[in-house]
Amino acid sequence: MILAVDVGYGYTKYAYQDKLSKFPSAVAHIPALTGFGETSTYTYNGSYYLVGENARLSETIPTRTENFLVKYSPLLLYHLFKKEGLKSVDTLCVSLSIAEFREKKDDLEEVCKVFTVNNEVYRQKEVVVFPQGLGIWITSGAPKDAIIVDIGFNTLDVLTIIDSKPRPEYSFSLSNMGVGNIIDAINDWVNSHFPGNSLSPHMADEILLNGGKFKIFRKQYDLSDFIEEQKRLFADDVISSVLSASKLKKVLLSIDEFIIAGGGAYYIPQEVADKHGFYIPENPEYANVKGFLIAAQSEESEG
């Protein structure tokens, strides 16, 4: 079986057979537990962790931590395997942003190949590391020339394809240009109304996904107008940053296909996309992982 996984700073998306799903890329380190009750703790390298939804109410390790993916991918993968009742797979596709690809590829491959969590050993036959963005390109029909914008939780990645090949000289990553900007605005609101308190990024994201309705300290609030305004500002910001990027100056003039995906694509209004000729694939947050699966499947049938 082939399993494709896209571990993002916000969510771990995955695809296999007809399944598409995700969970928060959240990992919390916790002290050893004593006493009674059910626990969803995982043991890894002698330490205890809560992962994904189970880490919701804990202090999570910032996903921007140095080497987060190499350190914690086994925990996220273990969580996925448990959730889905999977054992080791034949081909595991994972990914890295273009910025980190060269430097981290071998390390990521190695930690994913064989890992032990909760004293259970998981061994994959093969691990393939893809550059993020490439999956979006494949899902969108692999046009010969394309600019691909992946708007994530933390980063905005731009991958340019010319003559069906990724071109690093016209590709770049803008950190702090993700949906995190809207999340920060929500947290600023919380902080100004409840001094000394802040939400975890995933909690603030839940408010955003919920259209602005939420409870704090057992009271109901509605930030829907504020959130609509933040979304508009965000869309304007994203589009003007990409369209004014100096690396893309000439590329934008001549390239036809302009694809926007990643979960942040939900915040680009359709009329804005139409005006600029942007194409947004269906379920844009899964575009990468769907593309990795397609690539690995065609490799398998050819191989």
| Beta strand extents in the chain (DSSP E only) | 2-7, 11-16, 19-24, 27-30, 42-44, 47-51, 91-96, 114-117, 120-123, 126-131, 146-151, 155-162, 165-166, 172-175, 213-216, 219-222, 257-261
Check binding of 52 to Mg ion (CB under 5 A). no
The alpha carbon of 78 is separated from its chain's Cα centroid by a whole number of angstroms, namely: 17
Token pair recorded at residue 48: 């205890």
CB of residue 46 to ligand ATP, shortest distance in Å: 28
Half-sphere exposure at residue 28, Cβ-oriented, CA atoms within 13 angstroms: 19
CB of residue 133 to Mg ion, shortest distance in Å: 9
Check binding of 292 to ligand ATP (CB under 6 A). no
Number of Cβ atoms within 10 Å of the Cβ of 209: 10
End-to-end CA distance of the chain: give it in Å, rounded.
15
Q: By three-state DSSP, how is residue 258 classified?
A: strand
Check binding of 24 to ligand ATP (CB under 6 A). no
x/- letters, 139..178, toward ligand ATP (CB under 6 A): -------------xxxx----------------------x
- Choosing among ligand ATP, Mg ion, none, which partner's interface includes residue 178 (Cβ < 5 to 8 Å by kind)? ligand ATP
Check binding of 8 to Mg ion (CB under 5 A). yes
- Give the residue, chosen from 2, 3, 4, 8, that forms a contact with ligand ATP under the rule CB under 6 A: 8
Stretch that binds Mg ion, among 8-16, 72-80, 180-188, 230-238 (CB under 5 A): 8-16
- Give the residue, chosen from 285, 289, 291, 295, that forms a contact with ligand ATP under the rule CB under 6 A: 285
Considering the complex, state which of residue 14 and residue 49 has its C-beta at the smaller distance from ligand ATP: 14
